Amino acid sequence: MKPTRKILALIVMLALVISMATGMACAASTPTISIDGAAVSISSSYGTPYIDSADRLLVPIRVISEKLGATVTWDEKTSTASINGTIKVKVGAGAITTAYGTITMDTVSVNKNGRIYVPIRFIASALGYDVNATSSGGTINADIITKVELSISAAASLKNAMTEIQALYLKEKPNCKLTINTGASGTLQTQIEQGATVDVFFSAASSNMNTLKTKGLLVDSTVKNLLGNDVVLIVPKSSTLGITSFKDVTDSSVKSIGIGEPGSVPAGKYAQDVFTYYGIWDTVKAKAVFGSPVTQILTWVETGNVDCGVVYSTDAAASSKVKVIAIVADSTHTPIIYPAAVIKASQHTVAATDFVNFLSSSGAKAIFVKYGFSTLT
């Protein structure tokens, strides 16, 4: 066979293979959509889901968004759809922009008969939901998962704020169940290292988060430094001690000082940094009563079980039974940073990431500020 004929034959065979492959994909690609297992009916006026040549299930974003309780608006000038005012899908773009970052797609959004289509997994992800795809009897079904249970491990000093954050989040994601476990950050870190079922870790110190990151236990791209705080010295409301600064705790009138265990309680480590800075740690250590978590120190001071204690300013602000003697200077200790991240072993990475993102939303920030935290994002 001459070279030209061989080339033509190869082209014909290649075209036949592509045609057969496309035909097979089409033959087994009747798409259906469901939410938590319940079939979603899509009126033809909204557009029809379809499978593209790369086996991606593309859906009209308006109907999916609205089925999930979102509102969609359209900007004709920029050819951009806005979902809930913060999620942007531009015709011809290969990414979806959100208030928390960009979701890069493996294709571009298309305008088909006046409707914007993107792969279902990307629009669901932008809204904070995962998708479970199955194929049976020639039908491909994409099930959007809104009913998930997330386990959140958060520093004890976050307890009150997180209770309000939980209620606010569930207004947006009513089908989600949140279990919030609070404790000393070091203890929570150890639990995660030992395989505890945790989706999100919200620590009171970067050191705990960095340790988990070094051990490969985090989804690194989700780490966010969210909050700041202050360390304060407190005494019971009725105290008559004549101390006015951290250095004064060496006075003979001070018999006991409540401090978080430095090895597991970040507030305790910050206290150790402060007293070391002033060169009095050995003296303080002899009077120290170590506790865990930091909220235990607050209770000891409230009840007069210790003469004074070192806690966060947010802890002191939550109690009417103590008074603040001094606020420590930032230069005396390592920066107080509260980071949050998704645990790599989470079975609900998309939902967990959505919750971490929510922690930097305007509503969540307002709650944190209400409880005395400073926001870093």
Tell me the average pLDDT of the chain.
91
| Region 202-227 average pLDDT | 97
Q: Are residues 39 and 131 in the same domain?
A: yes
Asked if residues 46 and 64 have their Cβ atoms less than 8 Å apart, the reply is no
pLDDT exceeds 70 at position 12: no
Task: Give the helix/strand (H/E) hosting 143.
Answer: strand 139-145
The 10s digit of each residue's pLDDT in 31-73 is 999 999 999 988 888 899 999 999 899 999 999 999 999 999 9
Sign, CA torsion 357/358/363/365: negative
Is residue 345 a part of any domain in this protein?
yes
Query: How high is the pLDDT of residue 279?
Result: 97
The single-letter DSSP state of residue 343 is B
DSSP for 60-92, please give it: EHHHHHHHTT--EEEETTTTEEEETTTEEEETT
**What is the rounded distance in angstroms from the CA atom of residue 235 to the CA atom of residue 241?**
8
Q: What is the pTM of this model?
A: 0.86
Task: Beginning with the edge strand found earlier in the chain, give each strand of the sheet holding 130-136 in spatial order.
Answer: 38-39, 30-35, 139-145, 130-136
Is residue 99 a part of any domain in this protein?
yes
Domain count along the chain: 3
Residue 29: band (very low, low, confident or very high) from pLDDT cuts 50, 70, 90: low
The single-letter DSSP state of residue 181 is E
Estimate to the nearest angstrom the gap between the alpha carbon of 133 and the chain centroid: 24
How wide is the angle at C-alpha 131 spanned by C-alphas 109 and 74, nearest 5°? 35
Q: Are residues 96 and 235 in the same domain?
A: no
Residue 19: band (very low, low, confident or very high) from pLDDT cuts 50, 70, 90: very low
The 10s digit of each residue's pLDDT in 139-175 is 889 999 999 999 999 999 999 999 999 999 999 999 9
Q: Which CATH number goes with the domain that contains 164?
A: 3.40.190.10
**What is the rounded distance in angstroms from the CA atom of residue 339 to the CA atom of residue 201?**
8
Is residue 13 a part of any domain in this protein?
no
**What is the rounded distance in angstroms from the CA atom of residue 240 to the CA atom of residue 270?**
26
**What is the rounded distance in angstroms from the CA atom of residue 149 to the CA atom of residue 176?**
6
Which pair of tokens denotes residue 335?
């920066």
Q: How many CB atoms lie within 10 A of CB 191?
A: 16
Query: How high is the pLDDT of residue 268?
Result: 96
Percent of the chain with pLDDT strictly greater than 90:
85
Residue 26: band (very low, low, confident or very high) from pLDDT cuts 50, 70, 90: very low
Q: Are residues 31 and 134 in the same domain?
A: yes
Which pair of tokens denotes residue 98?
């959100």
Is residue 270 a part of any domain in this protein?
yes
Q: Which CATH number goes with the domain that contains 83?
A: 3.30.457.10
pLDDT exceeds 70 at position 376: yes
**What is the rounded distance in angstroms from the CA atom of residue 38 to the CA atom of residue 34?**
5
Query: How high is the pLDDT of residue 28?
Result: 47
**What is the rounded distance in angstroms from the CA atom of residue 121 to the CA atom of residue 14?**
31
Residue span of the structural domain in which 117 resides: 25-145
**What is the rounded distance in angstroms from the CA atom of residue 247 to the CA atom of residue 231?**
14
115: nearest Cα among 46, 58, 57, 56: 46
| Region 244-265 average pLDDT | 95
31: nearest Cα among 53, 45, 50: 50
pLDDT exceeds 60 at position 368: yes
The 10s digit of each residue's pLDDT in 288-346 is 999 999 999 999 999 999 999 999 999 999 999 999 999 988 889 989 999 999 999 99
Residue 274: band (very low, low, confident or very high) from pLDDT cuts 50, 70, 90: very high
Q: Are residues 328 and 340 in the same domain?
A: no
Q: Are residues 264 and 248 in the same domain?
A: yes
Beta-bridge partner residues of 32:
141
Q: How many CB atoms lie within 10 A of CB 19?
A: 10
Helix (H, G, I), strand (E, B) or coil at 18: helix
Is residue 105 a part of any domain in this protein?
yes
Query: How high is the pLDDT of residue 248?
Result: 95
